[in-house]
């Protein structure tokens, strides 16, 4: 994987603002799910990925392009962390009819990463 931006609120805001490209956003989520790319074998190593992800996605899914893995990502966010984008970044959401599926998926990924940060800091 290429050099990833640091996991902090500035990066999360940049995801929401589409200042980080889709591939890098995917890579961030893959990294924190535990996926690692082995350059010697040119294959993904999912040994550090939780079984509920590894079993369904032995290789990291494209969260930007496909809805099912994003739904799974949403469901994996603990209930108490579902509103972190609002609480931590003041994100007001998108207006109906004024956002795309990609923006909604980016918001889900940003919220999952914020949740990961919250859980990791405990």
> What is d(CA 54, CA 96) in angstroms, rounded to the nearest whole number?
34
Given this model, what pLDDT does residue 122 score?
Answer: 77
Residue 30 token pair: 């893959």
Given this model, what pLDDT does residue 1 score?
Answer: 54
Quote the pTM value.
0.91
Residue 92 token pair: 């007001």
> What is d(CA 121, CA 44) in angstroms, rounded to the nearest whole number?
27
> What is d(CA 61, CA 29) in angstroms, rounded to the nearest whole number?
10
Find the helix or strand (DSSP H, E) in which 36 lies: strand 36-38
87-118 tens-digit pLDDT: 888 887 766 677 788 999 999 999 999 999 99
Share of the chain above pLDDT 90, in %: 80
Q: What is the mean pLDDT of the chain?
A: 92
């Amino acid at each position: 994987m290429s050099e990833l931006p640091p996991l902090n609120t500035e990066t999360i805001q940049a995801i929401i603002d589409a200042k980080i490209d889709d591939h890098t956003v995917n890579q961030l989520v893959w990294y924190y799910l535990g996926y690692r790319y082995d350059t010697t074998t040119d294959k993904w190593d999912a040994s550090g990925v939780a079984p509920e992800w590894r079993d369904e996605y032995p290789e990291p899914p494209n969260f930007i392009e496909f809805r099912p893995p994003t739904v799974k990502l949403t469901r994996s966010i603990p209930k108490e962390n579902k509103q972190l984008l609002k609480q931590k970044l003041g994100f007001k959401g998108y207006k109906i009819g004024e956002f795309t599926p990609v923006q909604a998926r980016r918001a889900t990924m940003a919220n999952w990463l914020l949740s990961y940060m919250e859980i990791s800091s405990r």
